[in-house]
Structure 1
Amino acid sequence: MNNEGLTGGFEVTQPNNNDKTATLEELETFLGVDHFNWFQIITSDNNPLSDANGNLLAAPYIDFPKNGYSTHWSDDIPWHWDEVSPPPTNTRDWGSGFLLSTSYEGSTLVFEDFPSDSAGTKVDFATFLVADFGDKTYDILGGFSWSVEVGSNELTEVTYLNTATIFSDAFAQQIQREFGYTFADRLSENNSVVQPTPIPTPSPEKIPEPSTVFALLLTSLAACSDARRQKQIRA
């Protein structure tokens, strides 16, 4: 048996003007977005971690906190994948697989998380696709929630997955308070809509649009195709 986690991504499925599947970069240009990333917040945790200063966190807390956890480095940006590398003096756990650039795969923005912890740990997550405008403002294009539980054998099991999760005002306020990023409703009329809003396509011109489905799959750690991004910071 292996630890379970969540892997999947946001995929652009529509063709560009050359009748090829549009890339994430082409979608960014069309939407006026600087880049995409993921935002994740832990909404419940019976065995919380400590922040970079050694202070015990209390849910809800952003995953990763500013500058990471006591045992794992992260940047000072609120999004899931790091956008810069740590300084040479860093001594905490980190790998290049945590960089956003390694999660851009053509038309797909990858999401992966394989938490591990001590037996009895139960953690609830809420995860959202972020459109970052490059000026500390952002919009949300959809989200999902999921839960894990660590059994007596210390193996993690995914116990819940819901692809109809709303990005709440409380989440936006926490991002503003802790990171100084401001929510900006630019890309959809109603950001409580779970799936990304399709972009109207003027005829006959073809333009990229986001997929209307999150390709989220439960998988075992052993089935993960890219071990660079196996996230086990809770161990």
Structure 2
Amino acid sequence: MPHAIEEFVRLAPEVWPEGAPQCQPGDLDQWAPMGVGLPPGTPIPVMPWDSPATALKRTSHLGVQPHSGHPFTGAPSHEPAGGTVYFALRRSPDDFAAMLRMMGVKWLDSTDYAAFFRESTDPADRYVSQLRVVPRFALKYHFRVPEGPLGEELRRQPLPLGEVLSRFVDHFMQAHREKRYPLDGLLGGDGDFAREFLGFGFSVENQYAGIYRIWTRAYIATK
């Protein structure tokens, strides 16, 4: 059991048990691009005043945009909110909930989503534990996962999405305080002048489809 997070979230396997989607939702090496991402064969919206060139150009507004990490050009072109935020201390549950709302996180009250978890074995990864949540809509239309009884069971979560994200932070903060989640030396700290502390990252992989990722990370603080 990975650090007992299965006490509050049902985890799906890395390889989806039904069908054979070309892109596995449990492949955490891949990041979902931003944007609507029209599937192949989708009719192009054509207006009465369009020319063929104008209609073809319109598909670019309904495509996808990879994550670049640049503060300006990496902003989502087709979504009002998103991005990545790094934080360490959670002042209150209201602060965390406000952050999620500002980043455009939706379906916070839903219990119909899949969750995928992985732990790093290499400090160069710059994360320690990560969780990706993928709602039913994204599984069906973004990853093209066929629906069936096994998938339905994996999506049946005990807690709403927003609460699971909050519990993830609380869980690892408590484990770190109780010295059950050591980070010493991950970034070369000496345990005296330079020490590793627990931080977090949260990213909106795709705001339209509602794909999100949260992870733990180490950061260095010096005397």
Provide TM-score, normalisation by structure 1: 0.30
Provide TM-score, normalisation by structure 2: 0.32
Give the strand-richer structure, 1 or 2.
1
User: Which of the pair has more CA radius of gyration?
Assistant: 2
